[in-house]
């Protein structure tokens, strides 16, 4: 699957897969005005470095056009953090 | 300088001469009657590549005038210690412009500077007529409301407008503290929580949609949280201060990560605005602020 095959409504279900070297290239870099890449680890074991489909689709920085060709994989969320409850107690 | 402005100025045909004049020096006669602070924000949106519609211009002007009438906007209010000259609003992001550059602009100080708390968006976001929405995967908003730019001990207030519930899972709408952790969370079980340094206070089923405002009044008492103007949390505690420095919003750090200031745990809500203020506001001001934001959003069709 690639970026052009995704509908906007599917953006929150998929992410772009990065290599560790690609991750280092994107940290702190701008993909659009006032917008920065944010590579994060997903919830797979072992975890993958990923960026969101929005970052790929909205990238207008010519130095990083290559993100539009990243492999697309399903988004696996990391485990929820401890301090936050989601149940009805508290 | 924004990329939009850069592109415009570097194009072969600079169309900026056709812009509506806004000051006497550029032939506009001072903004056509708009409040000068409202006009400055409108001009900043224009510089960021977004042309404000007539309805938006009216809504922005009405909002700024209303905030000034309520003595919320500016440093003119002398109703409490420390008196005249205090800052009430540090940052108000109305998320107008359907793109990152205009949505980054702080209505309370529309300069394109970190020191003016002009935002940057990190990770995945979608911008539209309804506001700004992070993707719930890695998107957050950096305000630059940092320890370096703000006193860490000044009392603060903050709020948001959200029209969607994160689904599935929880949502964290908050910030980070240094020695203190103070953040507001509205999450998917339709409850809202103020998480303070030493305690957590939650509502029952408060509903997830609407405008939330956390503050403390100048007459003392606990930290309060209102939803759509109604009081849903009153901590009753008079200890501690509401003094979180909210550098990161729509994401929050857990306790161990606060030291490194790393955002994590991302929200997927659609936000129509975020506001950050300092010092105290009264109950009446908090209610009237909500009314102004509701009228503003209604005028924009949100």
What pLDDT is recorded for position B156?
A: 73
Dump pLDDT digits (tens) for B44-67.
999 999 999 999 999 999 999 999
Question: A10: alpha, beta or left, given left = phi > 0 and alpha = psi -120 to 50?
Answer: alpha
Rg of chain A, C-alpha, whole Å: 15
> Any idea where the domains of chain B sit in the sequence?
25-299
Q: Do A38 and B264 touch (CB under 8 A)?
A: no
Instruction: Assess B264–A contact: CB distance below 8 Å, yes or no.
Output: yes
pLDDT score of B301 more than 90: yes
CA distance B100 to chain A (A): 6
As for how many domains chain A has, the answer is 1
Domain enclosing residue A46, as ranges: 3-74
Closest by Cβ to A53, choosing from B124, B254, B255: B124
pLDDT score of B197 more than 60: no
Instruction: Assess A37–B contact: CB distance below 8 Å, yes or no.
Output: yes
Q: Do A52 and B126 touch (CB under 8 A)?
A: no
Instruction: Assess A28–B contact: CB distance below 8 Å, yes or no.
Output: no
Q: What is the ipTM of this complex?
A: 0.90
Q: A84 contacts in B (CB within 8 Å)? A: 170, 172, 185, 187, 265
Closest by Cβ to A34, choosing from B2, B135, B137: B2
What pLDDT is recorded for position B264?
A: 65
What pLDDT is recorded for position B195?
A: 58
Three-class SS of chain A: CCHHHCCHHHHHHEEEEECHHHHHHHCCCEEECCEECCCEECCCCCCCEEEEHHHHHCCCCHHHHHHHHCCEEECCCCCCCCCCCCCCCC
Give the number of A-B residue pairs with CB atoms closer than 8 Å.
99
Q: Do B169 and A86 touch (CB under 8 A)?
A: yes
Do residues B273 and B173 touch, judged by C-beta distance below 8 A?
Answer: no
Dump pLDDT digits (tens) for B221-272.
777 888 889 887 787 654 555 555 566 676 655 443 333 455 666 778 888 9
Which candidate in A18, A34, A58, A88 is best for mutational testing of the B interface (most B CBs within 10 A)?
A: A34
Do residues B263 and B246 touch, judged by C-beta distance below 8 A?
Answer: no
Backbone angles phi, psi at B74, to 5 degrees: -115, -175
**Which CATH number describes the domain made up of B25-299?**
2.60.120.200
Q: How confident is the model at residue B189 (pLDDT cuts 50, 70, 90)?
A: very low
Instruction: Assess B118–A contact: CB distance below 8 Å, yes or no.
Output: yes
What pLDDT is recorded for position A17?
A: 98
What pLDDT is recorded for position B223?
A: 77
Q: How confident is the model at residue B202 (pLDDT cuts 50, 70, 90)?
A: low
Closest Cα in chain B to A61: B3
Which candidate in A33, A40, A47, A72 is best for mutational testing of the B interface (most B CBs within 10 A)?
A: A33
Dump pLDDT digits (tens) for B9-23.
434 333 333 334 444
- d(C-alpha B189, C-alpha B53), whole Å: 38
Closest by Cβ to A33, choosing from B4, B187, B200: B4
Evaluate whether residue A82 is within a structural domain: no
Backbone angles phi, psi at A9, to 5 degrees: -70, -10
Three-class SS state of B124: coil
pLDDT score of B97 more than 80: yes
Closest Cα in chain A to B2: A33
Give percent above pLDDT 70 in chain B.
57
What pLDDT is recorded for position B199?
A: 54
Instruction: Assess B77–A contact: CB distance below 8 Å, yes or no.
Output: no
């Amino acid at each position: 699957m690639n970026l052009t095959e995704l509908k906007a409504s599917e953006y929150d279900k998929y992410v772009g897969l990065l290599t560790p070297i690609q991750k280092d290239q994107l940290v702190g870099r701008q993909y659009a005005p006032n917008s920065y890449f944010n590579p994060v680890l997903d919830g797979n074991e072992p975890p993958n470095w990923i960026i969101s489909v929005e970052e790929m689709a909205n990238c207008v920085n010519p130095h990083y056009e290559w993100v539009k060709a990243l492999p697309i994989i399903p988004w696996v969320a990391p485990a929820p953090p401890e301090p936050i409850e989601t149940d009805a107690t508290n | 300088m924004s990329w939009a402005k850069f592109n415009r100025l570097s194009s072969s045909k600079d169309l900026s001469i056709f812009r509506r004049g806004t000051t006497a020096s550029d032939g506009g006669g001072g903004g056509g009657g708009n409040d000068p602070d409202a006009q400055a924000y409108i001009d900043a949106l224009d510089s960021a590549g977004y042309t404000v519609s007539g309805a938006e211009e009216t809504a922005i002007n009405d909002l700024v005038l209303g905030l000034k009438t309520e003595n919320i906007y500016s440093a003119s209010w002398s109703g409490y210690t420390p008196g005249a000259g205090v800052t009430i609003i540090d940052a108000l992001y109305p998320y107008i412009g359907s793109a990152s550059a205009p949505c980054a602009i702080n209505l309370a100080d529309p300069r394109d500077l970190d020191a003016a708390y002009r935002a940057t968006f990190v990770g995945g976001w979608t911008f539209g007529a309804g506001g700004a929405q992070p993707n719930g995967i890695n998107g957050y908003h950096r305000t630059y409301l940092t320890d370096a730019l703000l006193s860490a001990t000044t009392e603060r207030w903050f709020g948001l407008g959200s029209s969607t519930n994160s689904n599935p899972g929880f949502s964290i709408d908050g910030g980070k503290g240094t020695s203190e952790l103070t953040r507001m969370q509205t999450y998917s079980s339709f409850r809202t929580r103020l998480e303070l340094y030493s305690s957590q206070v939650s509502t029952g089923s408060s509903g997830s949609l609407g405008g939330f405002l956390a503050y403390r009044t100048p007459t003392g008492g606990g930290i309060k949280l209102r939803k759509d103007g109604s009081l849903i949390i009153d901590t009753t505690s008079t200890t501690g201060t509401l003094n979180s420095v909210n550098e990161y919003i729509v994401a929050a750090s857990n306790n161990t990560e606060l030291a490194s200031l790393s955002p994590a745990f991302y929200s997927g809500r659609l936000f129509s605005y975020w506001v950050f203020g300092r010092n105290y506001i009264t109950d009446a001001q908090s209610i009237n602020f909500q009314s102004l934001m509701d009228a503003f959003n209604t005028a924009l069709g949100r």
